[in-house]
Amino acid sequence: MSQKDHLAIRDVASLTTLAHSYRQWHTLRVAIVHFDVFTRLAGGPRTWQQLMTETGASQRGARILLDALTAMELLEKDGDSYRNSPLAQRHLVRTSPDSQCNSWELYEFFNENFMHAAVAVRDGMVPPELRSRHPYKDEQIGRVRARAMYELGKALAQEFAEGYDLSFARRMVDLGGAPGAYSFAFCRANAQLEATVVDLPSPVEVTREMAQNHGLADRVHTVVGDIFAQPPIDLGSGYDLALISNVLHLEGPEADADLIKRARASLVPGGRLVIHDRVLDDTRTRPADLAVQAMQSLIINERGNSYTLGEFAGWLAQAGLSIERTITFPNRVTTWIVSRAGQQ
Ligand SMILES: C[S@@+](CC[C@H](N)C(=O)[O-])C[C@H]1O[C@@H](n2cnc3c(N)ncnc32)[C@H](O)[C@@H]1O
């Protein structure tokens, strides 16, 4: 099934499925984020009575929730006992290496903001006074986002580090790079490389913690800074590689063009600027899920959007750069846009 087909609503059955999907979504959200059901079952089956006591759920609530999760085949039921399905055990247990639990905490935050979707469409953004928390500067969201970005990014980072020759690089800067998934993978692929992750305060705390855990604290450095601030912060200089991964869709064209110019200025002659993001086609409607994802940019960010390759190329051109190559790995939805700086 193509991405287009996946989101298309062509019959009343699809329309009804979509209309009811909030039930499943919220069932899973509360199970993961509020009652930690799957993590509690990580060690083996437990009865609904045990889970009710441990989670503080009511009898009625616990039984309905556990049966609904069983109906979704995320739990298996035997009498009064429930156990995780293999998929839940792998992806919905907090301590699993393939856990997606932090991502669900982030989705919960996005969902709070999606309640203001009508205002965002009417006014072009959600006004700050309607938000309970700032999407980037709130400390808790910053930490949750950083952990979610690791869950979502580590395999992509690894793939690029294995598929693209990074041996030219000794120093890199990773702009909006928390928690460092890309810097860690690149440093592991190239023993000569040192990275500097620039991000906001609470994501940088997570980066420092993870750099320690990965044994890379001496090679992955951190700078706390607002990369879009005006007047601009100093991004440093003398880098062989500047990475801007999944950051440009957060901002508008002017700020993105300016960040690219400053990233380019931080490079040595011959250094490379790599943008990693999703790319819309010129109709702005494909890939379909990216066109729909632009709704998230509308709601979460004040000026963000999904962008076309022409838009990325235009901002690179303003910085005196042209695209050397683009890379999309099989079965992946993101694009790596590589450009190389000439003599300054
Ligand atoms: C979508 S995440 C991408 C993280 C990482 N680069 C990746 O590809 O997984 C966006 C990152 O940009 C950071 N960010 C957002 N606004 C920023 C700002 N004004 N200054 C510095 N970092 C910012 C966020 O904290 C977050 O780490």
| Residue 72 sits in the same domain as residue 166 | no
Residue 6 has a pLDDT of: 79
Is residue 265 very low, low, confident or very high in pLDDT (cuts 50, 70, 90)? very high
| Residue 67 sits in the same domain as residue 160 | no
- Residue 99 within any structural domain of the chain: no
| Residue 35 sits in the same domain as residue 161 | no
pLDDT in tens, 58-104: 999 999 999 999 999 999 999 999 999 999 999 999 999 999 999 99
- Residue 281 within any structural domain of the chain: yes
3-state secondary structure of 305: coil
- What percentage of the chain reaches a pLDDT higher than 90? 96
Residue 342 has a pLDDT of: 84
Q: Which domain holds residue 17?
A: 9-92
Mean pLDDT of 230-250: 97
Residue 91 has a pLDDT of: 98
The closest-lying atom of ligand 1 relative to the alpha carbon of residue 177 is 6
pLDDT in tens, 14-68: 999 999 999 999 999 999 999 999 999 999 999 999 999 999 999 999 999 999 9
Last residue of a domain, which of 65, 92, 119?
92
Atom 18 in ligand 1: residue holding the nearest Cα: 226
The two three-digit tokens of residue 70, written as one number: 């069983």
**Contacts (Cβ under 8 Å, ≥6 apart) of 283:** none
Is residue 132 very low, low, confident or very high in pLDDT (cuts 50, 70, 90)? confident
| Residue 161 sits in the same domain as residue 305 | yes
| Residue 162 sits in the same domain as residue 69 | no
Q: How far is the CA of 113 from the centre of ligand 1 (A)?
A: 18
CATH code for the domain of 318: 3.40.50.150
Q: What share of the chain is helix, strand, coil (3-state, %, to 5)?
A: 50, 15, 35
CA distances from 341 to 170, 196, 265, 273, 275 (A): 16, 19, 9, 7, 13
| Residue 211 sits in the same domain as residue 321 | yes
Last residue of a domain, which of 51, 66, 92?
92
| Residue 196 sits in the same domain as residue 277 | yes
- Residue 117 within any structural domain of the chain: no
Q: How far is the CA of 170 from the centre of ligand 1 (A)?
A: 23
| Residue 167 sits in the same domain as residue 48 | no
| Residue 167 sits in the same domain as residue 298 | yes
Is residue 5 very low, low, confident or very high in pLDDT (cuts 50, 70, 90)? low
| Residue 75 sits in the same domain as residue 157 | no
pLDDT in tens, 160-175: 999 999 999 999 999 9
The two three-digit tokens of residue 253, written as one number: 């064209």
Last residue of a domain, which of 75, 92, 109?
92
To test ligand 1's pocket by mutation, which of 174, 175, 197, 200 has the most ligand atoms within 8 angstroms of CB?
200
- Residue 301 within any structural domain of the chain: yes
Is residue 1 very low, low, confident or very high in pLDDT (cuts 50, 70, 90)? very low
d(CA 67, CA 76): 9
CATH code for the domain of 54: 1.10.10.10
Residue 178: CB within 6 Å of ligand 1?
Answer: yes
State how many domains the chain has: 2
Closest CA to 276 of 195, 332, 335: 335
